[in-house]
Structure 1
Amino acid sequence: MKDILKENTALSEKTAVALGIFDGMHIGHRSVIDKVCSFRSEGLKTAVFTFNSEEILTKHNKPFRYIYKNQQKLDILEKSDIDYICCPEFDSVRNMGTAEFAERILKEKLNASKVVCGKRFRFGKNAAGDYKELYELGLEYGFEVIAVPPVLDGDISVSSSAIRSLLSDGRIEKANRLLGRNYEIYGEVVYGNQLGRTIGLPTANIGFSERQLIPHYGVYASETVIDGKKYLSVTDIGTKPTVEKDIKPLSETHIIGYSGDIYGKKITVILNRMLRNEMKFSSVEELKNAVNNDIRTVINCRGDQWSPA
């Protein structure tokens, strides 16, 4: 997969292009990607136009809280067998009018023959354009616009907004179902207060990025991937109220059966099920007993039983 904007080039091959922020890469987003990939049968290359999720401040006039860090999103796209990606800096295109975007990006840069989006897709300066305007611009600039209908889970329309709400409420198993895979936290392991080591429960800490959606504060049955190997683990998301004051929320994971040094290493933590809310205990010993109980729970119900329902 190539980022053609970074290479400062235009495509000579005709393409089918998916449009969207894709901050969660959930099953609704995947339906857009799958539709684009279906046009390979017509000899088209596949492309995605998206934005750096971390640079977007608002969406639909509300503060924007993205689900995944931008690199996570790009890594998932990398596995989707897409030929080309456009992920420009948001400021470089935010003031483009709708016609300018259609002509400069879709026609000239991406050489689009088919353009696929969701029915709620907005584009152009101040998100002034909608699917209907994009359709009309397609007639003018020579590409067909296809709107993919919403994916339904029962009576719920699958969307990043719905998944954010589920994550915020601690309904991780349903969020995982709408995501189409279990929610992941990806990042570099940073130093904490290292209290866990003194009580025999070392942890790997990963911070959340600014404006990233933070799941409900609680303890989760999880799995942690280190150098391609998966370990059972227990993850606390929150502010560690028993031992800390006034810290930013983070994920703190005890990796069962692992004893290596992973400070500075990038790892992935997969949340499978919520075990309990984050609590402030009266002592470190009480905290230790609770975590050991969480570990026993995870071991007794292995992570492979917690795939999306």
Structure 2
Amino acid sequence: MKSFLSLQDDIKLASSITSVALGKFDGMHIAHNALFSCLDKSGIILSIEQDSGSLLPKKYRDFYAPNDIYNLPLDVVREKSDIEFVEFLMDILPNLEKIVVGYDFRFGKDRYYYTFDLQKCFIGEVVIVDEVFYKKLSVHSGLIKELLINGNLKQANKLLGRYYEIRGNIIKGQGIGKRELYATINIENDGFLILQEGVYAGFIQLGEQSLISPFYPAVIFVGNRLSTDKSFAIEGHLLGCELEVKDKVAGFYFAKKIRENKYFDNLADLKAQITSDINKASKILKLETCEVENG
């Protein structure tokens, strides 16, 4: 994600931008997509936020953005009045004709200013996108976070419009899986919200975010290894294939929760449970794959 302030040094590019969508955009979910659809071809997405845990960290948002996306630290505009805020945008984007915001957009000191203040100060068009609902649920990042933390992955994925993902560097695990249980790929979390502990059916993509890299069906564990070293882990076992993993990074995509995290007295009982998890995940993902293929 590029810095919005970098446009001050590229007058030609800045002058070509005629529309901007303003918001936090920490989830890149279906309500955010509603804003993006109002941009023209020369429009950009401007994410204004503080550095904090999010559904989708900044470095991964370009992949889901239909237009170029820029970041602006909240502190840069936090204290500005409505007029000062618009002047700031126009100073950087001199040919700005349209601003797109959500119905609940607030800005300025103590979030004092509303969308109608933006309309009064900006001489161009202000598009205010109505609240987006999914089955009577108002779609916003806060709700999606609550759903993930409380184990409602199905609803969270519907509001996201995609599988929830966690990406990060591939790291070395305990080694117990390969020797006595099932081999796993382990990753460290690169700033994503941790969903509820447990075992999930999902997919693993090896390497960077990509439209062409394959997604391998997997059973995924998130939580503390209660039956072994009690350390926290995000690890996945690939279903139906054995690969020599040479990639340095991977993405874990969560389709459905299978069970809660449990303690087992011995590795034999744990392996029996993992075998059952693998069988359940295989059945779930066959159905999920058919659902995706059939739209």
After TM superposition, the score normalised by the length of structure 2 is 0.86
Q: Structure 1: how far apart are the matches of 2:175 and 2:112?
A: 50
Q: Structure 1: how far apart are the matches of 2:260 and 2:246?
A: 27
Matched AA of 1:118: G
Determine helix, strand or coil for the equivalent of 2:272: helix
Matched AA of 1:296: N
Structure 1: runs of 5 or more not aligned: 57-64
Asked if 1:17 corresponds to 2:20, the answer is: yes
Counterpart of 2:63 in structure 1 is 75
Displacement after TM superposition at 1:2 (Å): 6.5
Q: Structure 2: how far apart are the matches of 1:126 and 1:209?
A: 30
Percent identity, aligned pairs only, is 28
Displacement after TM superposition at 1:115 (Å): 0.5
Q: Deviations over 1:49-68 (max 9, x none)?
A: 10466x04xxxxxxxx5211
Counterpart of 1:62 in structure 2 is none
Asked whether the equivalents of residues 272 and 307 of structure 1 are also in contact (C-alpha less than 8 Å), the reply is: no
Asked whether the equivalents of residues 167 and 189 of structure 2 are also in contact (C-alpha less than 8 Å), the reply is: no
Q: Structure 2: how far apart are the matches of 1:68 and 1:129?
A: 27
1:99 equivalent among 83, 97, 101: 83
Asked whether the equivalents of residues 166 and 190 of structure 2 are also in contact (C-alpha less than 8 Å), the reply is: no
Asked whether the equivalents of residues 205 and 216 of structure 2 are also in contact (C-alpha less than 8 Å), the reply is: yes
Counterpart of 2:159 in structure 1 is 178
Q: Structure 1: how far apart are the matches of 2:227 and 2:21?
A: 46
2:182 equivalent among 195, 201, 206: 201
Asked if 1:219 corresponds to 2:199, the answer is: yes
Asked if 1:29 corresponds to 2:29, the answer is: no
Matched AA of 1:85: I
Q: Structure 1: how far apart are the matches of 2:114 and 2:264?
A: 51
Structure 2: runs of 5 or more not aligned: 208-212
Asked if 1:132 corresponds to 2:116, the answer is: yes
Q: How does 1:153-172 map to 2 (within 5 A)?
A: 153-172=134-153
1:287 equivalent among 264, 270, 273: 270
Moved more, 191-200 or 231-240: 191-200
Aligned length: 282
Counterpart of 1:46 in structure 2 is 43
Q: How does 1:237-252 map to 2 (within 5 A)?
A: 237-245=222-230, 247=231, 249-252=232-235
Q: Structure 2: how far apart are the matches of 1:239 and 1:258?
A: 25
After TM superposition, the score normalised by the length of structure 1 is 0.82
Asked whether the equivalents of residues 17 and 46 of structure 1 are also in contact (C-alpha less than 8 Å), the reply is: yes
Counterpart of 2:91 in structure 1 is 108
Asked whether the equivalents of residues 217 and 278 of structure 1 are also in contact (C-alpha less than 8 Å), the reply is: yes
Moved more, 129-138 or 18-27: 129-138
Displacement after TM superposition at 1:174 (Å): 1.5
Displacement after TM superposition at 1:234 (Å): 0.7
Q: Deviations over 1:70-97 (max 9, x none)?
A: 22223211xx1x1x33213444444444
Distance 1:288 1:26, change over 3 A: same
Q: Structure 1: how far apart are the matches of 2:155 and 2:24?
A: 22
Q: Deviations over 1:5-51 (max 9, x none)?
A: 33533411241110111111111010000112xx44xxxx1111104
Distance 1:15 1:231, change over 3 A: same
Asked if 1:232 corresponds to 2:229, the answer is: no
Determine helix, strand or coil for the equivalent of 1:189: strand
Determine helix, strand or coil for the equivalent of 1:25: coil
Q: RMSD value over aligned CA atoms?
A: 2.5
Displacement after TM superposition at 1:144 (Å): 1.8
Q: Structure 2: how far apart are the matches of 1:280 and 1:306?
A: 33
Asked whether the equivalents of residues 204 and 216 of structure 2 are also in contact (C-alpha less than 8 Å), the reply is: yes
Q: Structure 1: how far apart are the matches of 2:269 and 2:82?
A: 59
Q: Structure 1: how far apart are the matches of 2:148 and 2:291?
A: 16
Asked whether the equivalents of residues 223 and 230 of structure 1 are also in contact (C-alpha less than 8 Å), the reply is: yes
Q: Structure 2: how far apart are the matches of 1:150 and 1:69?
A: 24
Q: Deviations over 1:141-183 (max 9, x none)?
A: x222111001111211111122112111211111111111111
Asked whether the equivalents of residues 272 and 306 of structure 1 are also in contact (C-alpha less than 8 Å), the reply is: no
Determine helix, strand or coil for the equivalent of 1:5: helix
Q: Structure 2: how far apart are the matches of 1:127 and 1:225?
A: 40
Q: Structure 1: how far apart are the matches of 2:185 and 2:168?
A: 10
